[in-house]
Amino acid sequence: MRTRRKPDWLKMRPPSGQRFTDIKSTLRDRNLNTVCEEANCPNLGECWSGRDGPGTATFMLMGDRCSRGCNFCDVQTGGMEALDPDEPANVAEAVAEIGLDYVVLTSVDRDDLPDQGASHFAETIREIKRRDPGILVEVLIPDFQGEPEHVRKIIDAEPDVIAHNIETVERLQWPVRDRRAGYEQSLSVLQQVTDESDIHTKTSIMLGLGEYHHEVYQTLSDLREADVDIVTFGQYLQPSRSHLDVFEYVHPDVFETWRRVAEDELDFLYCASGPMVRSSYKAGELFVDALLREGSSVEEARQAARAAAGQ
């Protein structure tokens, strides 16, 4: 397939500066991983702002190797190691040292573990909250093979937001995702969180994989049927030539259209939508921060998030 040239709206500056260097040093000192680095996120430099701004960072728990092989993801597959029992405390210490006021926890899939790592994930949430109850904690969780008791361990740890990504429309689940993932399974995870708690739910959809507009609309409708609160849209970017090809680079105007559909027509609380948006994108955290910490109305929180993100 002919290589597609990236349009100008996808060009980003590489991360740099003392703040970036300090954060990276803290993470290495504690042997911690972030999805920001492992997945080569283009927004890394923007989000790692800590005390100098509305800091966010996405820690990747349970190692840097995944038991699944999704064809869009740059995280390595296989060769998983035993869990580090000190990781929950190390993450909490790093959060305090960096000065984060909003932290996102995600993880690799660990289908090799008895509870797929749910207990370890939950303990990390509790450790952060124990040290500073004022920190907002968002978790981006695996599907835990759709096992309700494992999802419940995350719910019982009481994070502020539980996210699980449906990634793409139903037709494209394979080959985009590992065959052990699934559209209905992901919807069931999100529905369980809504049914069993008052925790805000969130998901993310990639565009540019060959989806049709009517399929995107159906996916949004299904997510609202599951009472998902927040959705993000971003451009799929090919991590390497061994990953799925980009079908198309979606124009920013299309992303804006989907934002309006999600918020104005389907009544999602918030939608962050743009080519460079990722599931742990800063604008989403700014919305939740304004809603939960500041007590703003939904509309005020939307406006604050867009103003801070320069939208």
Distant-in-sequence, close-in-space partners of 139: CB < 8 Å, separation ≥ 6: 104, 105, 106, 121, 125, 154, 159, 161, 162, 163
> pTM of whole model > 0.85?
yes
Q: Which of 25-29, 113-117, 221-225, 291-295 has the lowest mean pLDDT?
A: 25-29
Residue 206 has pLDDT above 70, yes or no: yes
Which residue numbers belong to the known binding site?
36, 41, 47, 66, 70, 73, 280
Share of the chain above pLDDT 70, in %: 84
Query: For the residues 192-206, what does the mean pLDDT come to?
Result: 97
| 64-74 per-position pLDDT tens digit | 999 999 999 98
Task: Establish whether the linkage from the previous residue to 175 is cis, with ω within 30° of 0.
Answer: yes
CA distance linking residue 49 with residue 91, whole number of Å: 17
Query: For the residues 278-287, what does the mean pLDDT come to?
Result: 73
* Domains defined along the chain, listed by start: 14-309 (3.20.20.70)
Between these two residues, 247 and 34, which has the higher pLDDT value? Answer: 247
| 84-124 per-position pLDDT tens digit | 999 999 999 999 988 888 899 999 999 999 999 999 999 99
Per the structure block, which two tokens stand in for 273?
């939508």
pLDDT at 42: 55
Which residue numbers belong to the known binding site for [4Fe-4S] cluster?
36, 41, 47, 66, 70, 73, 280
Nearest C-alpha neighbor of 203 from the set 156, 251, 153, 273:
273
Nearest C-alpha neighbor of 235 from the set 250, 225, 223:
250
Give residue 51's pLDDT band: very low, low, confident or very high (50, 70, 90).
very low
Give the burial string for 49-79 (b: 16+ CB within 10 Å, else e).
bbeeebbbbbbbbbbbbbbbebbbbbbeeee
Nearest C-alpha neighbor of 4 from the set 211, 256, 237, 252:
237
| Strand-pair partners of 66 | 77
Residue 82 has pLDDT above 60, yes or no: yes
Q: Is 153 left (phi over 0), alpha (psi -120 to 50) or beta?
A: alpha
CA distance linking residue 140 with residue 155, whole number of Å: 12
pLDDT at 100: 83
Residue type, 153: K
